[in-house]
Structure 1
Amino acid sequence: MEKEQLFRHKILPVGTIVVAIIVLWYVAAVALNAPFQRDLDRRANVTSTTMEFIGKTMSQPKPIMPAPHQVAVNVFENTFLRSVTSNRSLVYNAWVTLSSTGVGFVFGTLLGILIAVGIVHVTTLDRSLMPWIIASQTVPILAIAPMVIVVLAAVNITGLIPKALISTYLSFFPVTVGMVKGLRSPEAMHLDLMRTYSATPAQVFWKLRVPASVPFLFTSMKVAVAASLVGAIVGELPTGAVAGIGAKLLAGAYYSQTIDIWAALVAGSVLAALLVAIVSIVARAVDRAMGGRPA
């Protein structure tokens, strides 16, 4: 019975959407690659049947849009058939990007929590700092990343730190907003009860506000870890990096290797999904440790 419910409510809907995406992807690949293939056949004076023509559009070495199976083969080859120390290995490039992502995520989370605590407890910070934090996120990261790279390079700071700072910039905002909401989530009745017990501000913070903010924190961390990954990839673009998912995207664009570009995008998506899943697992463990009931 539980397996049937799992299939109906989770596997079937997700599977249906995945199949629909793949079908639309194939249709788009044929439609976008058809003009170039038609021109090739005309130049070679070749006449193909409809099925042969469709097959050619999905087997071009440098297609405008690669077919799903081309991307899947590329991902498989560069993940399992290459040494993890090779520059072409997706595992190696993902690890390079993951390193700056992890550092930026940790710093962003800590910074977000500290800012949120200050905003909740200091009225001046709430009125003066919060508007600036919101305004900071209106500046495109593509405009900020080159400035960060250039300024830090001028003082001989290169490598992981600039990319981690860009990840921190993107990841601290959702944590800040989530923690502010969480720390302010206790009801007035609960706060009054703590005052009735003559609780100190520190006790109110640790015994009421912090436990109430934990669900908000982990929800915001799921957004932050994905944003941190985006920041790490964007940080690799203006540096001319030789390794990392961003470097794979740059190399693919430079040599018109669209299959490599899409494979790098898939690798980034898988990495983001794994990071969010890890945060979810930690959130469940913390929830159980705090006495929460398993869903």
Structure 2
Amino acid sequence: MKADPRQHALPIAAVLAAVLLLWYLGAIGLNSAGAIERVLAPKGAYTTGELITTTWNMQRPVLPSPHQVVIDLWHSLVDWPLDSPRNLLYHVAVTAESTLVGFVLGTLLGIVLAAAIVHSRTLDRALLPWIVASQTVPVLAIAPIVLVILGSLGFSGVAPKATIAMYLCFFPVTVAMVQGLRSPQRIETELLHTYAASRHQAFWLLRMPSALPFLFPSLRVAIAAGLVGAMVAELPTGAQAGLGARLLTGSYYGNTVAIWSALVMSALLGLGLTAAVAGVEKLVLRRRAS
């Protein structure tokens, strides 16, 4: 039996309604002081309705209301051409490029490291602790160092940002693939040995297929982490394009609506990238099952 779509739609709608309600209430609480001081007090007496309306429609609010963010997103997408820095899709494309390059590189690095760890006890003891320790360093601290080093070597543009994205991507892939490559049972490995299968054949015929259910969940985590890394890498470089640069520009000019628009767009980009990985997962696992 197919699940009723309403069973999934109703919980999502309920959570969305609760988030919007809390958002509007938060806008009233955080913006009320500024609304009274800058708008309402000079005019004299005011009602509660006027206070609420003002807090939801301020020019530079502490917390913009949801409809202000939606309006700003709409004007950004409609009023400017796609190649204009004022169009958020232009910044989405720049950040997505760095994210995808870093994701591919991080995935390949994670798979190679996992294969090396699984096939060598020495590498298992030598590499795995350092791989775990690498993630204890905050990305905000390491990003400027990496960017300066790569810049001195002549790398600019996508490469430095993709490197930071790769740094955050490879870890979940490595850990998941180590577990996945070790998941085949002993009887399965012994069966391949009876067929005189080489280590290379055992890897591609047994270990790699067994690791796929472990790989794809880690890829969804990795691509989301890569998006964060790409945006963080755009901050210390003073980049002119990308969602991170858009956030930085909004903070410089105190434009909180633009900041929240960029945050919402980055969330939508993350959802889209994660959904794309989930789609590839369903396709691959379906073919594997058939």
Q: TM-score range by the shorter chain?
A: over 0.9
Aligned residue in 2 for 1:70: 68
For residue 169 of structure 2, what is the aligned residue in structure 1? 171
SS at match of 1:247: helix
SS in 2 for 1:139: coil
The number of aligned residues is 290
Distance 1:25 1:45, change over 3 A: same
Equivalents in 1 of 2:110, 2:6: separation in Å? 39
* Residues 229-264 of structure 1, C-alpha deviations (whole Å, 9 max, x = no match): 111000000000111000100000000000000000
Q: What is the aligned partner in structure 2 of residue 32 from structure 1?
A: 30
Q: Does 167-176 or 183-192 show the bigger shift?
A: 183-192
Please name the residue that 1:7 is paired with.
6
Is the CA contact (8 Å cut-off) linking 2:98 and 2:159 kept in structure 1?
yes
Cα RMSD after superposing both structures: 1.3
Matched, 1:210 2:208: yes
Equivalent in 230, 233, 241 of residue 232 of structure 1: 230
* Displacement after TM superposition at 1:2 (Å): 4.2
Residue in 2 that maps onto 1:160: 158
SS of residue in 1 equivalent to 2:289: coil
Superposed CA deviations along residues 189-213 of structure 1, whole A, max 9, x for unmatched, are 2222222333322222111111001
Change in CA separation of 1:119 and 1:83 when aligned onto 2, cut-off 3 Å: same
Q: Is the 8 A contact 2:40 2:46 kept in 1?
A: no
Q: Deviations over 1:94-122 (max 9, x none)?
A: 00111111111110000000000000001
* Alignment deviations for residues 68-126 of structure 1 (CA, whole Å, 9 cap, x no partner): 00001111111233210111111000001111111111100000000000000011110
Is the contact between residue 69 and residue 257 of structure 2 (CA under 8 Å) also seen in structure 1? yes
1:149 aligns with 2:147: yes
Q: Which residue of 2 aligns with 1:132?
A: 130
How many Å apart are 1:215 and its aligned residue? Answer: 1.4
Offset of 1:43 from its aligned partner?
A: 4.5
Secondary structure of the structure 2 residue equivalent to 1:290 = helix
Please say if residues 41 and 47 of structure 1, whose CA atoms lie closer than 8 Å, have aligned partners that are also in contact.
Answer: no
Q: Which runs of 5+ in 2 are unaligned?
A: none
Contact 1:222/1:280, CA 8 A, preserved across alignment: yes
Residue 263 (structure 1) aligned to one of 252, 256, 261: 261
Instruction: Describe the SS at the equivalent of 2:12.
Output: helix
In 1, Cα distance between equivalents of 2:254 and 2:144: 23
